[in-house]
């Protein structure tokens, strides 16, 4: 299964429009990455986007600090999980943005697929790697 997004939201109103298109679990995964990308550009708008996904439990100041720490100096991180993003191309995914998921046949559950770990260390873009 793939989740396809035509454009990464650049502000909170764009994020809200994208979120209004559906709240299926697989879309929430893709929206999470979009919210992280927005948070990296605009902390307030990104936090509001994350809160839309979190429901009745908004981000705490600690949560916001955690996100700031993990994204600091890594604007490429949220986009690294979309198809076509590689260290060699600076983690610039193909447009439209597609996120691969995998279904476990025995339970019907959907899972993120082809990723290492969101918000953890991944290879830096080749252009930033002095050893490339």
Question: 83 and 98 in contact (C-beta within 8 Å)?
Answer: yes
For residue 116, the model assigns a pLDDT of 39
Sign of CA dihedral 110, 66, 96, 85: negative
Query: Tens place of pLDDT for every residue, the chain, 132 residues?
Result: 678 899 999 999 999 999 999 878 888 889 999 999 999 999 999 999 999 888 888 889 998 998 899 889 998 988 888 889 999 999 999 999 887 666 778 887 665 454 435 666 778 899 988 888
Q: 49 vs 6, 13, 32, 101, 107, CA distance in Å?
A: 18, 9, 8, 22, 30
Q: Which residue has the tokens 């559950």?
A: 109
The pTM (predicted TM-score) of the whole model is 0.79
For residue 8, the model assigns a pLDDT of 94
For residue 33, the model assigns a pLDDT of 92
For residue 126, the model assigns a pLDDT of 92
For residue 112, the model assigns a pLDDT of 46
Q: 116 vs 55, 81, 106, CA distance in Å?
A: 26, 9, 23
For residue 3, the model assigns a pLDDT of 82
* Cβ neighbours around 57 below 10 Å, total: 8
Which of the 8 DSSP states describes residue 2? E
Q: Locate 80 and state its tokens.
A: 């690294």
């Amino acid at each position: 299964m793939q989740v396809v997004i035509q454009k990464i939201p650049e502000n909170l109103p764009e994020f809200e429009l994208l979120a209004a298109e559906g709240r299926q679990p697989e879309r929430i995964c893709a929206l999470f990455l979009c919210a992280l990308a927005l948070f990296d550009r605009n902390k307030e708008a990104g936090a509001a986007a994350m809160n839309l996904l979190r429901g009745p439990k908004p981000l705490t100041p600690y949560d916001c600090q955690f996100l700031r720490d993990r994204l600091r100096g890594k604007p490429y991180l949220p986009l690294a999980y979309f198809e076509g993003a590689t260290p060699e191309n600076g983690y610039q995914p193909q447009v439209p943005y597609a996120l691969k998921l995998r279904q476990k046949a025995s339970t019907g559950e959907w899972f993120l697929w082809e990723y290492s770990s969101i918000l953890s260390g991944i290879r830096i873009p080749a252009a930033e790697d002095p050893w490339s």
